[in-house]
Every structure is written in C-alpha cells, then in structure tokens.
Copies of this chain bind each other. A is one copy, B any other.
Amino acid sequence: MRFKPSYAPGPTDVRENVRLALAKKTNNPDFDKEFVHYYHEVCQKMGQVMGTTNDVLLLGGEGILALEAACASLTEPGDRVLVLDNGIYGEGFKDFVSMYGGEPVVLSFDDHQDIPVQQLRDFLEKDHDFKYATFVHCDTPTSMLNDVNQISPLLKEYGILTVVDSVAGMVGEPIDVDQNKIDICCGGSQKAISAPAGLAIVSVSEDAKKAMNDRKTPIASYYANLQIYLGYREKGKLPYTMPAAHIEALEVALDNILEEGLMAVYERHAKIANAVRTSIQAYGLSLFLETGRSNTVTAVIIPEEIGALTLQQHIQETYNLYIATSLAQYTDVILRIGHMGENAHFDKVLSVLTVIENGLRDLGFEGNGHLGQLFLDAYRAEN
C-alpha cells in the first residue's frame, strides 16, 4: 500500500513529533497511579483547548463514540430530543436518540445555509419541551459551520441541554465550551487536532451530570456510558485499558497547538480557508454553501460533465493524492478540500490546488487563470 497524502476533511496529517510519540514504550495504564494522574492531566489540557473547566474524558474509540456516548448517557425511554438538521451528520443524531429509546424531533433547515438563529428562536418559543438538543458545529459533508456561539446559549435559555458535535470543528474553528454553554461537547483526535485516530473526546457539564444522576433507568451501555467513566475517575481509576500511546501522542499534538497559540491556529485556518474560497470562485468553480462556510473544509461543486467521483479517482491515480467527495446525494456533486489541522498550511494547500487544477484540465475543464496562482494571490492579499 503506497502512501498517498490525503486532503480529506480528516484524518489529517499527523506531525512527526506526534507520530514518534506513538512509538514510545508506555507504562501500565490499568493500575499505575502515575498513569491515571497523567491521563487526567491530558484531559485537562484537552479542556484548555476546548475552553472549558468541565470534566473532559478521552474515550478509547473514534469520534462517533463520543456522539453515541452523549446520547446513550442522556436519553431515557420517552425523552423528547430536538435534532437540529442542516446537513448529513446533523440529521444522523436522530438514530442515536431512537436507539436509546428517545423521541427525536427533527427540525430541518436549508442545507445551503447555517442554522438561522431567529428561525430557531421562533420554533423554541412555541415548543421547548426537550431534554436536550443536538447539532453539528461543522458538518463536513457540506462543509457547513453552525454558529455555536449563538445556538447553544439560545437553547440553554429554554432549559434545554445541548450536545454539540464539534468533531470536525474544534481547533479549526473557535469554540469555547464554557462561554458557549455546551453541556456535552464531542470531538475526535484525528481532525483539526491532528493526532492519530483512536480517541473520542467529550466534555461533560454539571447540568449534564445531574441529568445522568437523575435518570430513572440505568444507561444501557458500558463502553458508551459516561457515568461509568466519571465514576471510575472519582475513584482514581480507569474503566478499561486505555490506549496509552495515543494519550501520549494526543498530548504532543495539544502541545503543538498551544505552542503555536490557539488564536494563531484559528487565524491560520481562516487565512487558508479564505484564500481557498476566493481562488476557487475566481477560477470559475462554485462553492456549495451560501453561508456558514467552515474554515476547516471547503465543499466545491464539480461540473456535472466531469463528476466529483471521476475527478477524485483521476487525481488519486495520476497524482497520488487523496481528496474526498461527499456523502449520500452529494457523493458525485461535491469535492471536499480538507484544510484543517496540520493540513492547513500554505505550502500543502498550494500543492493540492495545483493538483486539482491539473486534474480538472486533464478532464477537459479549463478555468480562469491558474488555481494555484489565484490561491497564492488571494493568500498574499490577506497579509
């Protein structure tokens, strides 16, 4: 299997010092008190990056485990749950809610715009009897960014707990769990954090803990049961053998972020994303979104006569580069350029855009000027 650089919206490139940390011998993560202590230090560092003093848990699994754990831990049979939907992952929450016996109420919006806050307020005014609500910070299949800064506080006004999927958002887009009043914020190690895949991240607020403690029925899961994690934590233990090497690698990735500075990281993403969007449009291609364009990924509409899948395949074979298309109805429509975490660097994005330009030309599409050059110009104009 030859290595192919990937500019999908995750997993992202993992920096050398993070990969090498994975190769280290680790202490016994089961019973060694020092390790448990260390685990909690890394959790806290994770919380620092997420802007929270809430308990943060690192689960031994992929980001989706965080989403399931949030729903499994909060949902009791019969609970009404508000599922905000303006993208593919947004709607997906309803399955988790149903699975654990809840009654999902899906509120759908236009897929081309971020969740309209006023419209949501109007809805809530009439119906706000929900135990919790779910929404996605960055819904990658369409590159949608929802305004976490307004939506979760608004829901909280109505006494609704919030579960936010920021797997593809955090670190690439500003998020401040405490200020944004997010009860359970979900992340994954392999997106803008640029650590290896293998860790799911959740922060749990006091309100969320209370909701779990007030349950009348037990949580119907072990591996996705946040109460178990929190209970072990209190006893200075861990509920199973943690992937110790991953914890150490995550810490190095977090140190990389903190060393660069969280604000600088956000700005890097913003500058890259702006230049990508400007150049894509100047070149003659269209963006999928009207508003809510995330700085972590850009969804580009590929002319029908070429097709996103054909372009992807061609680039993979000819230029040994992996770029993602989208999911479901958008699979052959959208090409997604991931520019998050370690992939959000000028030189890398310049080279991926050059390849896309060459790939398009090979398949008969000639845009205006040169995509790489347009990116370069746009990027420089920002400085």
How many identical chains are in the complex? 4
A19 interface hit (Cβ, 8 Å) = yes
A32-71 interface bits toward B, Cβ cutoff 8 Å, 1 = contact, 0 = none: 1011001000000000000000000000111111001000
What residues of chain B lie closer than 8 Å to A322, measured between beta carbons?
27-28, 31-32
Whether B60 contacts A61 by the Cβ 8 Å rule is yes
A367 interface hit (Cβ, 8 Å) = no
Whether B1 contacts A65 by the Cβ 8 Å rule is no
A188 interface hit (Cβ, 8 Å) = yes
Whether A197 contacts B20 by the Cβ 8 Å rule is no
Determine how close the nearest CB of chain B comes to the CB of A298; give it in whole angstroms.
Answer: 17
Our pick among B13, B64, B100, B240 for the contact of A63 (Cβ within 8 Å) is B240
A94-106 interface bits toward B, Cβ cutoff 8 Å, 1 = contact, 0 = none: 0110011000000
What residues of chain B lie closer than 8 Å to A368, measured between beta carbons?
none
Stretch at the interface among A113-121, A170-178, A215-223, A264-272: A215-223
A372 interface hit (Cβ, 8 Å) = yes
User: 17 A-B Cβ contacts within 8 A?
Assistant: A3-B25, A3-B26, A8-B31, A11-B29, A23-B23, A28-B324, A30-B324, A61-B65, A99-B222, A196-B245, A197-B242, A197-B244, A243-B243, A350-B354, A350-B358, A354-B372, A370-B370
Interface residues of A (CB under 8 A from B): 1, 3-4, 6, 8, 10-11, 13-14, 16-17, 19-20, 22-32, 34-35, 38, 60-65, 68, 72, 95-96, 99-100, 188, 190, 196-198, 218, 220-224, 239-246, 319-322, 324, 346-347, 350-351, 354-355, 358, 361, 370, 372-373, 376
